[in-house]
Chains A and B, each alone.
Chain A
Amino acid sequence: KAGVTQTPRYLIKTRGQQVTLSCSPISGHRSVSWYQQTPGQGLQFLFEYFSETQRNKGNFPGRFSGRQFSNSRSEMNVSTLELGDSALYLCASSLAAVAGNTGELFFGEGSRLTVL
């Protein structure tokens, strides 16, 4: 069974540009979450999607957005990039924490974004 797949793995952008990251969840998982990891802030929750609907959102500016498609694949977009957006962006999928499910999250390898 394939794990969570994130693309691209590495990318370099300049300030002011925008970037789109992609995440394919484990087959059958309908919940997809995104996290930002930086040395200073650790792992911070960005947002979570379930059945194409954003259910939860973290404390990030509106430059950070996402969406989920009918096949549960998800993308996140960051517009007007700033130096501080340099981070490892991690995607996780799960069956969602409902009765009968453990709610265990499985993470991808991440997309390493460097903003110059």
Chain B
Amino acid sequence: KQEVTQIPAALSVPEGENLVLNCSFTDSAIYNLQWFRQDPGKGLTSLLLIQSSQREQTSGRLNASLDKSSGRSTLYIAASQPGDSATYLCAVKDFGNEKLTFGTGTRLTIIP
């Protein structure tokens, strides 16, 4: 059974800093891994998707990496801004299954 863990549960950093969010999963036989952002009371916004054959994906100030062998992914946010404050969730999709298994998220606060 796939299990996804995100540590830390909460993180506060000053504006302008670069930061890394971590995600680990137990079963390396994944189809893809997706990072989401969720603002309070809102739905999920897809940030980046990494296919199992890929090592990283980039979008603007965001960079996500994937190491299947170690069961880890990181989301790197460069030059953080107050608008980046949100909960960040990672989720993995296993082969042959449309279901996403989510981590519990990291609540990020960027201090102006």
Contact = CB atoms under 8 A, between A and B. Distances in A.
Interface in B40-61: 41-46, 49, 51
Interface residues of B, number: 24
A107 B99 contact: no
A43 to B, nearest CB: 4
B34 A104 contact: yes
B2 to A, nearest CB: 11
Given A109-B42, A109-B43, A97 B102 contact: no
* Range of interface residues on A (Cβ < 8 Å): 20 to 34
Contact of B43 (A42, A58, A97, A108): A108
Contacts of B36: 107
Given A90-B44, A110-B43, A112-B41, A33 B99 contact: yes
B9 to A, nearest CB: 11
B63 interface: no
Contact of A33 (B41, B98, B105): B98
A102 B31 CA distance: 9
28 contacts: A6-B43, A33-B98, A33-B99, A42-B103, A42-B105, A43-B91, A45-B99, A48-B98, A48-B99, A56-B99, A58-B99, A90-B43, A97-B31, A97-B93, A102-B32, A103-B32, A103-B93, A103-B98, A104-B32, A105-B46, A105-B91, A105-B93, A106-B46, A107-B45, A107-B46, A108-B43, A109-B42, A110-B42
